């Protein structure tokens, strides 16, 4: 197969991260086009992409003009535009790598999935964390059974995020599709479902105390119970003025603690609890370094390569429309339950139930 002609739509904050990853994809992709309504942003992106591609890039401010130049698009736009742009390209037979969250409503997600199926194009949600080598490694360590059975996975994401006026869309709950939990927590709900399987029930509590610029919550605590009894937890804030956790995954297993901190890129395994004296560490402080990768960038090249390989090989992406929809459905059900003051029933939101 010829290299896949790829266009980037939206070259702002996250678009810049996609630009950074493109140079590692030129064996399978040919970057041919870029689009942004901001002329300066577009000019910068075209400069970078032309160098990466080794030829001129088609540039436009109206995404529709890019159609004839691409086989596939990476959509890195404000959330309220995902549906419109995704379906436009699906209906023209173009494959779609959609930045998260897929779309702002369940109906839009289902319609986009159907548009892609009807037109036989690949739809994938860009969840980079899922494809990072260190997180893939963490999953392998759990699946191997060597480090015990996972009974609680906690994820912390502490950051200070206040979109500037130029990205004012993100300050509107309607355009963002919700608050921090929908916009950012969707990564981690997706990861929790991947590690822990079938969700049964869940609760979310959010606040915009500390993040008054957010219409909905800027800080969230969410907990999910899974079918095998294990628990998953996400604490996410866009209001951190200080942090110790930063971005951190902690997995308690029946043999110890697997721990990943993005700050140092290490996966550690602790087996230092003294079973006879639970408050004390064992005589020998047993901490093992299992992985180290100091690259803290968004590393979009791994997800985009997966998307391109799925197109080439006719395979379904790991984060395809249905798997992404399940995660978003969990979030919507937890939001609804929070309003009612109840616990959300998360059963039956999965892949098979969603497929027609
Ligand atoms: N995967 C991640 O870790 C991650 C991180 C941040 C953002 N994102 C996602 O990336 C997407 C974009 O977010 P962002 O932070 O880059 O936003 P942003 O506001 O920084 O960038 C959006 C860009 O889209 C352009 N744009 C707006 N309307 C347009 C239109 N009609 N046609 C063409 N261009 C248009 C803007 O000019 C801007 O350059 C969102 O889906 C967001 O959730 C993902």
pLDDT along the chain (356 residues), means of 10: 93 94 95 98 97 97 98 98 98 98 98 98 97 96 97 98 88 96 98 97 98 96 98 98 95 96 93 75 80 87 98 97 96 98 94 49
* Residue-level pLDDT at 356: 41
Report the pocket of ligand 1 as residue ranges, CB < 6 Å. Answer: 9-15, 35-38, 41, 63, 76-79, 81, 99-100, 126, 128, 167, 183, 298
Q: CATH homologous superfamily for 130-298+329-345?
A: Dihydrodipicolinate Reductase; domain 2 (3.30.360.10)
Distance 151 CA to ligand 1 centre (A): 36
Segments of the chain assigned to CATH 3.30.360.10: 130-298+329-345
* Residue-level pLDDT at 8: 98
Atom of ligand 1 nearest to the CA of 98: 41
User: Topology of 4-126 in CATH?
Assistant: Rossmann fold (3.40.50)
Q: What is the 3-state secondary structure (H, E, C) of the chain?
A: CCCEEEEEECCCHHHHHHHHHHHHHCCCEEEEEEECCCHHHHHHHHHHHHHHHCCCCEEECCHHHHHHHCCEEEECCCHHHHHHHHHHHHCCCCEEEEECCCCCCHHHHHHHHHHHHHCCCCEEEECHHHHCHHHHHHHHHHHHCCCCCEEEEEEEEECECCCCHHHHHHHCHHHHCCCHHHHCHHHHHHHHHHHHCCEEEEEEEEECCCCCCCCCCCEEEEEEEECCCCEEEEEEECECCCCCCCEEEEEEECCCEEEEECCCCEEEEECCECCCCCCCECCCCCEEEEEECCCCCCCHHHHHHHHHHHHHHCCCCCCEHHHHHHHHHHHHHHHHHHHHCCCEECCCCCHHHHCC
**Protein residue whose Cα sits closest to atom 6 of ligand 1:** 14
Atom of ligand 1 nearest to the CA of 15: 16
* Residue-level pLDDT at 350: 77
Distance 78 CA to ligand 1 centre (A): 5
**Protein residue whose Cα sits closest to atom 38 of ligand 1:** 12
Segments of the chain assigned to CATH 3.40.50.720: 4-126
Distance 322 CA to ligand 1 centre (A): 23
């Amino acid at each position: 197969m010829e290299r896949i002609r790829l266009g980037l739509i939206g070259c702002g904050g996250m678009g810049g991260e996609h630009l950074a990853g493109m140079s590692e994809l030129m064996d399978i992709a040919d970057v041919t086009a870029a689009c942004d309504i901001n002329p300066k942003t577009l000019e910068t992106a075209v400069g970078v992409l032309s160098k990466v591609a080794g030829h001129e890039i088609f540039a436009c401010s109206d995404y529709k003009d890019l159609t004839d130049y691409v086989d596939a698009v990476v959509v890195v736009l404000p959330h309220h535009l995902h549906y419109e742009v995704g379906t436009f390209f699906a209906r023209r037979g173009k494959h779609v790598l959609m930045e998260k969250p897929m779309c702002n409503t369940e109906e839009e997600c289902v319609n986009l999935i159907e548009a892609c199926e009807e037109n036989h194009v690949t739809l994938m949600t860009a969840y980079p964390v899922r494809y990072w080598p260190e997180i893939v490694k963490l999953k392998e360590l759990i699946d191997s059974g060597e480090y015990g059975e996972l009974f609680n996975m906690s994820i912390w994401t502490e950051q200070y995020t206040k979109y500037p006026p130029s990205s004012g869309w993100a300050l509107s709950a309607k355009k963002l599709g919700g608050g921090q939990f929908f916009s950012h927590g969707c990564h981690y709900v997706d990861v929790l479902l991947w590690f822990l399987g079938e969700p049964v029930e869940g609760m979310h509590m959010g606040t915009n105390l500390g993040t008054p610029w957010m219409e909905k919550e800027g800080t969230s605590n969410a907990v999910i119970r899974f079918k095998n009894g294990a628990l998953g937890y996400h604490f996410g804030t866009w209001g951190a003025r200080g942090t110790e956790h930063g971005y951190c995954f902690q997995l308690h297993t029946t043999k110890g603690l697997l721990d990943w901190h993005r700050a140092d890129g290490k996966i550690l395994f602790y087996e230092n609890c003294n079973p006879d004296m639970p408050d004390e560490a064992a005589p020998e402080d047993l901490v093992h370094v299992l992985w180290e990768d100091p690259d803290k960038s968004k590393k979009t090249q791994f997800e985009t390569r997966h998307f391109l390989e799925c197109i080439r090989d006719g395979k379904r992406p790991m984060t395809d429309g249905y798997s992404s929809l399940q995660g978003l459905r969990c979030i919507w059900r937890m939001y609804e339950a929070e309003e009612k003051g109840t616990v959300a029933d998360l059963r039956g939101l999965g892949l098979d139930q969603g497929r027609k």
